Amino acid sequence: MDFAVIMAGGTGKRLWPLSRETRPKQVLKILNGETLLRQCYERLSPIFDSRNILVLTNAGYCDLVREALPEVPFGNVIAEPAVRDTMGAIALAAGVLDKFSPQATMAVVTADQIIEPAEVLQGAISDGLTFVNANPQSLVTFGIKPNFPSTQLGYIKLADACKAKGCKNSICPVDSFKEKPDVETAQKYVDSGQYYWNSGMFVWKASKILDLIYNNVPQTKPIIHKIQASWQTSAQERTLREEFIKLPKISIDYAVMEKAADVYAIRLDCRWLDMGSFAALADIINSDKNNNIVVAGSSELLDCKDSIFITEDNNHLIAAIGLKNMIVAHSPDATLVCPLDDTQRIKELLAIIEQRKGNRYL
């Protein structure tokens, strides 16, 4: 049986003060009143029954996720009691699926990406499921065709494409995974045509990925086995809380994918964006005549240009004079004013806020 697993645990510190520890970026209504999480679900719903969609999120976000996705069964929203990177989350989801559906095939997607048109991803996921169900020892990832030499994304190098039975998309063996490059290397990657951005989305058999995790990170096995044994018993929550935190904090790429054999990729030629910063809004929202990005119910700008103004409060007026290359981000209890060129320092600012004012504004 085929399942989808939505990874929805990131806090999105670079979108503060809109995104908070108690209200992550994937539930912000800044995309025409719709959330990233909702958009992700809508992309999956033509392929998967809602009963076959799992959402992994931080324990504090469960109510928000369930409110955003009422179609997903209550128990399919799984609370991670600690942050343990992608390997831990994937091991948990695979362990749950493997207990109740040993032949489960799982598609792993993230909730903080914008992918347009959705049909491109839907076709690729369908082909990934077809390929893995026919080749259960294989792992499939998805490569995004790069449109500029990004130094903030990992890359995958692809070998020559081949056709697979029942698949409309070509399947490419993955030659290697590459970490975030410098500008010169990134340009060489793009110019070669062999390198694609690593999307962080996958399709594989739950049992296969578990075997690979156990082989590469052996200490994971007894932890997941204990969680599996307790699942849907009265000990589930206690066991998850006590055991999950023991998992090593490591990404699935580093733990498994960079070392695995039989890794294939499906190329995605689409509009793709990891919604990780305010600057990313420029790629999804049309600017005004002065190249300002405005997400607000009401605004009055005088001699402002090349800036971003954002609030979720439709009754809040944003007014500004003479701002250039700035961000103004409003929330009910905090407002950020920052040069666009300094957005990488938001995490530094949050550390100071935490030190001086505690967790109130985080």
Give the global pTM: 0.85
What is the distance in angstroms between the CA of the first residue and the CA of the last residue of the chain? 40
Q: What is the largest CA-CA distance in the chain?
A: 63
Phi, psi at residue 269, to the nearest 5°?
-105, 90
- CA 88 – CA 21 distance, rounded (Å): 20
Per-residue pLDDT at 284: 67
Angle at 307 between CA 19 and CA 15, to 5 degrees: 10
**What residues does CATH 3.90.550.10 cover in the chain?**
2-274
- In the chain, the amino acid numbered 185 is T
DSSP lists the bridge partners of residue 265 as 141, 172
Query: Does residue 266 sit in helix, strand or coil?
Result: strand
- What is the block-wise mean pLDDT of the chain (362 residues), using blocks of 10 residues? 90 77 74 81 95 92 90 94 90 95 94 88 96 96 89 89 91 91 90 91 97 96 96 95 94 92 92 74 77 88 93 87 93 90 87 89 84
CB 154 within 8 Å of CB 197: yes
In sequence order, which residues have a C-beta less than 8 Å from that of residue 283 and are 6 or more positions away? 273
Helices of type H across the chain: 36-44, 62-68, 85-100, 118-134, 183-192, 206-216, 220-230, 236-244, 252, 346-357
- CA 155 – CA 176 distance, rounded (Å): 9
Specify the DSSP class assigned to residue 340: G
Phi, psi at residue 325, to the nearest 5°?
60, 45
Q: Which is nearest to 53 in space by CA: 64, 63, 45, 61?
A: 45
Specify the CATH architecture of the domain 2-274: Alpha-Beta Complex (3.90)
Per-residue pLDDT at 23: 75
Angle at 184 between CA 345 and CA 250, to 5 degrees: 55
